[in-house]
Homo-oligomer: A and B are copies of this chain.
């Protein structure tokens, strides 16, 4: 298992991370609060630890797990270009859709409901 996304694909692991936001937790606390059998919790924590999402501290027989920011920060970095994308292009996209809409209204009288696969655009073909 490699990428941060694969790690976070598992809902229980996301729940564990969200729980660790409040404070560090022992395996037993996670087990009870999330209603996940203990071996499953340990396995998920193993995956999260190996991927650097959490670190563990030994306290007698139990281990206290806490968040470790780095992998999530990398994920955040991966998202950055997309953030730029939608903040740069959102208004332009709206204008584009408006234009499309108006063109459709000009070429047809009936207002067609928006389809998932949108109206055919003019295909460039040799005349």
Partner of A5, one of B9, B59, B81, B117: B9
> With A8-B5, A116-B49, A121-B58 given, is the CB distance from A72 to B79 under 8 Å?
yes
Q: Are A21 and B85 in contact (CB under 8 A)?
A: yes
Complex CA distance for A2 and B125, rounded to whole angstroms: 39
What residues on B are CB-neighbors of A72 within 8 Å?
Answer: 79, 82, 86
Q: Are A58 and B5 in contact (CB under 8 A)?
A: no
Q: How does the 8 Å CB contact mask read for A114-127 relative to B, with 1 for contact and 0 for none? A: 00111111010100
Residues on A facing B (Cβ under 8 Å): 3, 5-6, 8-9, 11, 14, 17-18, 21, 49, 55-60, 63-64, 67, 69, 72-73, 75-76, 78-79, 81-83, 85-86, 90, 116-121, 123, 125
